[in-house]
Chain A
């Protein structure tokens, strides 16, 4: 199974996945701490972005092309979820 062998460009891929993991943890911090509900929605949006990027990175690392389809579907669902949260916030503001 291809993966992160030592040496070559895979060191860069390893560092990149560490960056992504750091980003997800930082966004989760904002998701938990965030003072208001819109802050949490933005943080959840960011987690979704980072997950899409991490799936693309996994497609490179493990050499599985079909993971790009997974990333595409994740991006679609991410937009739907964020739009739904926004409509919920708008309604909650006016009612």
Chain B
């Protein structure tokens, strides 16, 4: 068992732990928006750790470039996909958790005079 094996094993275990925690968050979190942040942040960090472990394991140029591309792409697109889903869900009237204390998007919409596109979504605040 060489040092590379140990580093790869630790990276893979840490990544898999983050992925499992993200899945627990998906199941246990109370509403869509908290679930989404668990999936996006913990999930992408876990996958990035495992992919970094793969790059260290192979230690060759082309797999390393591919692993770097995967990590850059995940960290670049996961927030975009998350914000797209969040805006779409908010504008289609998905309810917030009952104990949510701040709703900045609601204040922003009220201040700018634009209501939500769907009037049936107004009963949630």
- Verify that A and B bind, or say they do not: yes
Question: Which positions in A face B, CB cutoff 8 Å?
Answer: 8-9, 12-13, 15-17, 19-20, 22-24, 26-27, 29-30, 36, 38-39, 41-43, 45-46, 49-50, 52-53, 56-57, 59-60, 65, 68-69, 71-72, 75-76, 79, 82-83, 85-87, 89-90, 92-94
Sort chain B's interface into a size bin: 35 or more
Task: Pick the contact of A65: B63, B78, B89 (CB < 8 A).
Answer: B63
25 intermolecular pairs with C-beta atoms under 8 Å apart: A9-B8, A15-B13, A16-B12, A19-B19, A23-B16, A38-B92, A39-B32, A42-B35, A46-B39, A49-B78, A52-B47, A53-B50, A59-B58, A60-B8, A65-B58, A69-B66, A72-B69, A76-B73, A79-B77, A83-B80, A83-B84, A86-B85, A90-B92, A93-B117, A94-B91
Q: Mark B48-80, 1 if CB is under 8 A from A, else 0.
A: 001101100110101100110110011001101
Q: How far is the CB of B97 from chain A (nearest CB, A)?
A: 12
Q: How far is the CB of A22 from chain B (nearest CB, A)?
A: 5
Majority secondary structure, A binding face: helix
Q: How far is the CB of A6 from chain B (nearest CB, A)?
A: 13
Question: Which positions in B face A, CB cutoff 8 Å?
Answer: 1, 5-6, 8-10, 12-13, 15-17, 19-20, 22-24, 26-27, 32, 35-36, 39, 43-44, 46-47, 50-51, 53-54, 57-58, 60, 62-63, 66-67, 69-70, 73-74, 77-78, 80-81, 84-85, 87-89, 91-94, 117-118
